[in-house]
Structure 1
Amino acid sequence: MTHLATERAAPALPRAARSPHQPLAIPAVRLGEGGVLGGWQRRNAEATIGHCVAQLESSGVLDNFRRVVGESGAPYRGFVFADSDLYKTIEAVAWEIARSGTDRWDAWLDDVIGLVARVQEPSGYVMTWIQGVHPEKRFAELHWTHEMYVAGHLIQAAVALDRAVGRDDLLRIATAFADLLDRRFGPGREEGVCGHPEIETALVELYRHTGVERYLALAQRMVDLRGRGLLKVGNLGATYFQDHAPVRQARDAVGHAVRQLYLNAGVTDVHLETGEPALLEAMQAQWDSAHHRKMYLTGAFGSRHRDEAFGDDYELPSDRAYAETCATIADVHWSWRMLLATGEPAAYAETIERELHNALAAAVGDDGTTFFYANPLQLRPDRFSEENAPRERRAWYSCACCPPNLARLLAQVSAYVATSTDDELALHLYADAEIDVPAHLGGGVLRVETSYPDDGAVRLRHDGDRPLRLALRVPSWSSRTVLDGAPAEADADGYLRVDLAGAATLELDLAPRWTRAHHRADALRGARAIEVGPRVYCVEQVDLPDDVALDDLVVDERAPLVRADGATVRTTAAVRPRADALYGPTEQDLSAGEVAVVAIPFARWGNRGSSAMRVWLPVV
């Protein structure tokens, strides 16, 4: 059977008309499989989603459900929140159906949704760790049991599936669980919040999808109660759970990075529906904290392995970066909602672009079936492997949150390419694509032809009956922007306006550039990185002569950077002699000679075996 996606097949659809930007449905933006994002999306469909489906079986996630209803005698396997791996995978399948109309997973969906239905209790409750292992802990240890976190992913999967294909069997399961949460924790009832935020954004989306206002009220209540000391924080401390201050007073991104960023997505969703200024004010301060003082150059977050946490301002060590994949995914969700909330999209869109083309692209191997959990910006030649920070990508993890999270994001990534306003179509991400123009803008199809970010040329063609008003984002790094052969400048909001009648070509400057870090970033002082367009570059040991160690290189930022064979950048570096003394005189002897250096996109590192790698290179 061929599926027809609904017009509401998109991950975030604000119900209140508070934003001038309206998302486009996933089927309305068809990424070309020859382009960078479209090729990645194709690999996600062909390899990553199927890999996740198989791993749900071999890792025990599905057996955890079966054992609750006596269909398996296997012991419980995985973390308390293992159910969420299934729900993320279902969401990935749903958005893939919306994208391509595939029926490949229909039978699998029948099986797993039927299994979840059998496990669900008449009350609406469904969580296998509680039901099958510790029933006495039901809603008793909200700081650690992740019950609402799991419910959030169930809700998001259910909404996605109904939007993608009009299938509501999982939605009935999810709304029954949401109704239980409302009866237990809704306004005027027991006070409680989840130790791992996620339920907030899910409840808002459930409200948007169903129109049932008590789901929005429950999300609002969860936001209002955080920071009231309701969680048993223990040795981890209140900041780990973002329970140290009320949301409207918390101005800094702190604690467990994924939790903070998921919370912020939910808070922004609540603002989008209620219009409360205090929430947006807090989110703008949080966004500045996370992105202007705590984000890695690659768009990653979390500088501390301990507690998977944000560090202090400018605490950004390259080799000990935790930089969890899920944190960047959470930030894509949040930044997109901030784009919708503020109506000032340039900075948010540029951040999403940085995240997609760097931290997230590097998190999955060329095979689409191996993954990094942590994403450091330096790998030492003798660094040991850790469970969630191995030297090489792994097929799965005992805490497997990242692979299915990547799968669901890639399946929905076309939803972040463009938005419409009352009078224009705004292009936020450049990718080879066909975009259905909304009827109120004249209809027709906008064809975007580009190999960006391998190339800076973006060719545009519209077949509508009247000129199409386009807002084209001009990235902050593009020092020279050309439209149809003539220099062009963006408006104050970072977008270049054009009335497209027929065809036009936008050219962005992809000249390689040296990048420095803020002087307070101690770990990066005296070092430079290479960037080309939105991409961050790195050097791997495998590209150096056998007798030259990567950690002995010293670069001169005056050295030319030359793009070669499309994606690589070539330059030269001096080589420090391998001195025996750990400490010595201040003079540096660089007499060991000079070597040619090949830098590759960070997105592509780690695909040629375990090799030392650096983004930030010491300077002379």
Structure 2
Amino acid sequence: MTVTSRNADLVGGRPVVPSRGALRPLGLGEVRITGGFWAARQQVNGDATLQHARSWMDRLGWIGNFTTGGLGSPDRRGREFSDSEVYKLVEAMAWEFARTGERDLVSGIEELTAAIASAQSPDGYLNTAFGREGQRPRYSDLASGHELYCTGHLLQAAVAAARTDVGTPLLDVARRAADHVCRTFGPDGVWGLCGHPEIEVALVELARLTGEQRYLDQAALFLERRGHRTLPPHHFGWAYSNDDVPVLTATVLRGHSVRSLYLACGAVDVAVENGDDELLAAVAEQFDRTLARRTYLTGGMGSRHEDEAFGDDFVLPADRAYSETCAGVAAVMLAWRLLLATGEGRYGDFIERVLYNVVATAIGDDGRSFFYANTLHQRVPTATLPGDEEQLGFGGGPRAPWFEVSCCLPNVARLLASLSTYLVTADDAGLRVHQYADAEVDTALADGRRVALTMRTDYPDDGVVTVRITRTDGGLWPLTLRVPRWADGAVLVTADGRRTVPAGDLVVRRDFAVGEEVRLELPVRPRFTRPDPRIDAVRGCVAVERGPVVFCAESVDGESGDLDALRVEVTAQPADDGGKVVVRAWFVVPAEAPWPYGAVEPALSTGTALLRLVPYHRWARRGPSTMRVWLPTT
């Protein structure tokens, strides 16, 4: 049965509002994270990260580009896509306002909206890097200019502002920009497309908000044009921009990771709105193959630094993992859309993996530094970076306060601000819980009955999740809980007793009473994980996971020795010492030689020791360090 969502404008807004699909996403007014792991990160995001991003964008002139002093000036600041970072910041501020009700955010959005609106041309075109005296002509570099990409982020910001009741003026700006795009690139316009997909997913969401069919049609048209080598030849190949084969006939995600994932998001959205089951199935199959062959243990995507791209199947080197933070955000966006469309709970498993091991890793504890790339093996100790210098390189090293390309920080900020909308959905009869956190839920079922519940947990440190019914209008309804694939031996406790449950979607259907509790006990004990033997780079290694969290060995202040010489013992499972994960290990120090190859491995063992591992999302927070996720065995 299909759950429609046009029949209710939910308080607080949601980033994705499909008109049909298996599941209906709940809004920020219906689900609120109240404590624990993610509440702390949302707090830092709201208190520090948003202002940090705003101050850097002011300092570097990215916001000033929109005003008279910067618009069309030869001194325009930042890369050609810097407009998009301002738009993502506005989107994050809108979701944060809906989450907290903080009125200062409204004035900030109004100020930025006024600046953005002042740069719009009478015909609706809006970009500060093209089209004015001394600049390149409009749309003269569709392959790399990012004009339509920037417009896409403008549309998403405007949708967020409109759904949170803080941005009618920005929506007016966005509609004029979208109308310009439709006139310019419509059926009777320029046969073109953007080298960096993003406009597609944004046009669909604008169509969902406004009901304007032309926006959806334009998104579908951009998708139809993709894959016919319309863009100029590129030194990274046509796959770099997913212009090598049509979306419908592709077999796997490839090329630039973020571009590929954003395009897939747009394809899912178009498929859902147009009832195109063939397109939806094609993208789902591409994603499945990508997960099976081109994804890191952390959920990170992209193994090539040079072009920020997917490698070939099973080319997943730990020490050259690019795993861009933006690709993590985009992967969550895609998995979420597939979850809503299909109702398949396994996508929730993947979202959980990315959240705890990419998104949570990226941002510093103070919210004012971040990783652009997320390596799985740091051979050279990270260095302390100055807090007032813009970094030019993107991969390796410590979290930096700002990068010349700072797409990742506002991307994570908008995801964290809207994160509660990814926890719970409604199906055709009840509620489904996909992510576990301290939270409060208050919504209406498909038949109009009002239900409310609280969720309490110390997840991911502890696997006990307690759901308590706080309101119900009576009658049977199903509560579905996700049991992760790793949770062998999970236990369900209800008024009917206690029983072991398998991985997958666990349905508890009852005439719930107020005060009734459902408890899920997930075994978060540490475990060894082994790679597919076709991943040459980590053959003979193991990783350690505990619940949804990937762990790593980290060398801080000489605590752990030379991690490149590390070997671990796998005859016994890792130990859980009060929430700390410990493995038995030793360091095999190779003999110095003039040539790094030989008939045998000359080495000297330093003896065994207990090695304490740390969650991967905690690495590089205690000072300069080396790190590795995959641990060689004997």
d(CA) in 2 for partners of 1:475, 1:590:
42
Shift of 1:468: 4.6
The residue that corresponds to 1:364 in the other structure is 363
**Between 135-144 and 85-94, the greater mean CA deviation after superposition:** 135-144
- SS of the residue corresponding to residue 577 of structure 1 reads strand
The residue that corresponds to 1:128 in the other structure is 128
d(CA) in 1 for partners of 2:365, 2:211:
42
Instruction: Give the one of 612, 619, 625 matched to 1:598.
Output: 612
Q: 2:305 touches 2:395 (CA, 8 Å); kept in 1?
A: no
Shift of 1:586: 3.0
- SS of the residue corresponding to residue 27 of structure 1 reads coil
Counting only pairs closer than 5 Å after superposition, residues 603-614 of structure 1 correspond to structure 2 as: 603-614=617-628
Q: Which amino acid aligns with 1:12?
A: V
Counting only pairs closer than 5 Å after superposition, residues 80-91 of structure 1 correspond to structure 2 as: 80-91=80-91
Q: Which amino acid aligns with 1:458?
A: V
The residue that corresponds to 2:266 in the other structure is 266
Q: Which amino acid aligns with 2:310?
A: F
The residue that corresponds to 1:217 in the other structure is 217
| Residue 482 of structure 1 pairs with residue 486 of structure 2 | no
Equivalent residue pairs, number: 608
Q: Which amino acid aligns with 1:55?
A: W
d(CA) in 2 for partners of 1:261, 1:54:
29
**Between 130-139 and 286-295, the greater mean CA deviation after superposition:** 130-139
Q: Which amino acid aligns with 1:200?
A: E
- SS of the residue corresponding to residue 244 of structure 1 reads coil
| Residue 455 of structure 1 pairs with residue 462 of structure 2 | yes
Q: Give the gaps of 5 or more residues in structure 2.
A: 1-8, 384-390
Q: 2:74 touches 2:135 (CA, 8 Å); kept in 1?
A: no
Q: 1:574 touches 1:590 (CA, 8 Å); kept in 2?
A: no
Q: 1:519 touches 1:525 (CA, 8 Å); kept in 2?
A: yes
Deviations 1:286-319 (A, max 9, x none): 1022211101111111100011010000100111
Shift of 1:131: 3.9
| Residue 535 of structure 1 pairs with residue 549 of structure 2 | yes
Aligned CA distance change for structure 1 residues 528 and 134 (closer, same or farther; 3 Å): farther
The residue that corresponds to 1:48 in the other structure is 49
The residue that corresponds to 2:3 in the other structure is none
Q: Going by fraction, where is helix more abundant, 1 or 2?
A: 1
The residue that corresponds to 1:416 in the other structure is 422
Q: 1:227 touches 1:246 (CA, 8 Å); kept in 2?
A: yes
Instruction: Give the one of 585, 588, 593 matched to 1:576.
Output: 588
d(CA) in 2 for partners of 1:134, 1:310:
37
Aligned CA distance change for structure 1 residues 182 and 377 (closer, same or farther; 3 Å): same
Q: Which amino acid aligns with 2:588?
A: R
Shift of 1:113: 0.8
Q: 2:88 touches 2:157 (CA, 8 Å); kept in 1?
A: yes
d(CA) in 2 for partners of 1:350, 1:184:
41
Aligned CA distance change for structure 1 residues 577 and 145 (closer, same or farther; 3 Å): closer
**Between 277-286 and 310-319, the greater mean CA deviation after superposition:** 277-286
Q: Which amino acid aligns with 2:440?
A: E
Q: Which amino acid aligns with 2:141?
A: E
Q: Give the gaps of 5 or more residues in structure 1.
A: none
Aligned CA distance change for structure 1 residues 181 and 414 (closer, same or farther; 3 Å): same
Q: 2:487 touches 2:524 (CA, 8 Å); kept in 1?
A: yes
d(CA) in 1 for partners of 2:70, 2:436:
48
After the TM superposition, list the runs of 4 or more consecutive aligned residues in structure 1 that deviate by more than 6 angstroms: 383-386
- SS of the residue corresponding to residue 308 of structure 1 reads coil
Q: Which amino acid aligns with 2:63?
A: L
Instruction: Give the one of 560, 563, 567 matched to 2:576.
Output: 563
Counting only pairs closer than 5 Å after superposition, residues 92-111 of structure 1 correspond to structure 2 as: 92-111=92-111
Deviations 1:307-354 (A, max 9, x none): 10100001001111111100111111111001112221x221111100
d(CA) in 2 for partners of 1:237, 1:589:
44
The residue that corresponds to 1:13 in the other structure is 17
d(CA) in 1 for partners of 2:373, 2:507:
37
Shift of 1:244: 0.4
Instruction: Give the one of 29, 32, 37 matched to 1:30.
Output: 32
Counting only pairs closer than 5 Å after superposition, residues 383-394 of structure 1 correspond to structure 2 as: 387-394=393-400
TM-score (norm 2): 0.92
The residue that corresponds to 1:505 in the other structure is 519
Shift of 1:258: 0.4
**Between 360-369 and 127-136, the greater mean CA deviation after superposition:** 127-136
The residue that corresponds to 1:437 in the other structure is 443
d(CA) in 2 for partners of 1:465, 1:252:
46
d(CA) in 2 for partners of 1:590, 1:468:
64
TM-score (norm 1): 0.94
d(CA) in 1 for partners of 2:73, 2:589:
61
Q: 2:394 touches 2:403 (CA, 8 Å); kept in 1?
A: yes
Q: Which amino acid aligns with 1:232?
A: P
d(CA) in 1 for partners of 2:18, 2:563:
49
Aligned CA distance change for structure 1 residues 188 and 395 (closer, same or farther; 3 Å): same
The residue that corresponds to 2:505 in the other structure is 494
Q: Which amino acid aligns with 1:115?
A: A
